[in-house]
Amino acid sequence: MILTLRSEWLKLRTVRVHFVLLILAVAFPVTVTVLVAIFGDDAETVQNHELAELISGTSVISVMLFSAVAAISLTSEFAHGTIRPTYAATPNRVRVMIAKLLVNSVVAAVLSLALVAICWVAGAAILESRDAEISLTMEDGSIGALGGLVVLAVILAWFAFGIGLIVRNSPATVSILLLWPLVAEGLIAVVFSLLGADGLFKWLPYQNCLAALAANPDADTLGRPGAWLWFGGISAALVVVGLAANLKRDA
């Protein structure tokens, strides 16, 4: 397994488009956080949880890009046919896919953690220079909001990987990744609303995970652990289905 992990790590870091996407993903929320901290009004009144929510809110785009990299790193193998030399070098397909998933999960977790840390340190330093009092605490939900982003990054990487395993096509996978949160869950919410079943909103996995990024999630959601377990469970199920399909299909 160590050899397969090393090989998959090499693959991920030796394609320039992965780097470009990851750098863009990290740069965007850092830039937004710094600009808001510098130019925002009433800086001295900004509280910990507000900074945390600013960071987690703007970083959702970043974790979506991390998930796109996870998906592309897989689907491009099918697009370019490199999956065949991959399986020829490591005939155990499950091992290959688990290694790929682990590498992408660790990359998503480490980068989102680094992203959160950079944004927090930069934002807090600037706000404190503008007379705000910022400190990272558990009590006001700041750590929960920031930690939730790291968890969401890993869950989205699994979600993307699962869809990629099933679809095996880069444009289709990335389209689903974007359409699911932006369109599909919105339409489902409208249907629930028309049916008068507003209580079902909390079962929309993506929206629920976004709600869990608030410092204090609303009471009518599944809550932080519930949202993570629900979306994480769905993503894990997609990965399992994808793995099973790939065991049966031709490479």
**Binding footprint of another protein on the chain (CB under 8 A):** 3-4, 6-8, 10-11, 14-17, 76, 80-82, 84-92, 248-251
Q: For another protein, give the closer residue by CB, 8 or 53.
A: 8
> Of 98 and 234, which has the nearer Cβ to another protein?
98
Smallest distance from the beta carbon of 73 to another protein, in angstroms? 10
Query: Is the CB of residue 208 less than 8 Å from the CB of residue 227?
Result: yes
Q: What CA dihedral angle connects 4, 178, 211 and 135, to 10 degrees?
A: 60
Give which of 29, 23, 35, 37 is closest to 56, Cα–Cα.
29
Residue 44 in 3-state DSSP?
helix
For residue 209 the two structure tokens come to 């995970």
Alpha carbons 89 and 175: distance in angstroms, whole number: 31
Q: Which is nearer to another protein, 10 or 117 (CB)?
A: 10
Smallest distance from the beta carbon of 36 to another protein, in angstroms? Answer: 35
- What is the closest distance, in whole angstroms, from the C-beta atom of residue 145 to another protein in the complex? 36
**Which of 130, 249 has the CB closer to another protein?**
249
Least separation in angstroms between residue 69's CB and another protein is 13
Helices and strands of the chain, counted as H and E runs: 11, 0
Nearer Cβ to another protein, position 2 or 195?
A: 2
Q: How far apart are CA 6 and CA 14, in angstroms?
A: 12
Structure tokens at 189: 């919410």
Q: Which is nearer to another protein, 15 or 188 (CB)?
A: 15
In the bound complex, what is the minimum distance in angstroms from residue 111's beta carbon to another protein? 20
As measured in angstroms, the least distance from the Cβ of 239 to another protein is 20
For residue 75, give both structure tokens.
């689907």
Q: Following CA atoms 17, 18, 21, 23 in sequence, which dihedral angle do they give, to the nearest 10 degrees?
A: -110
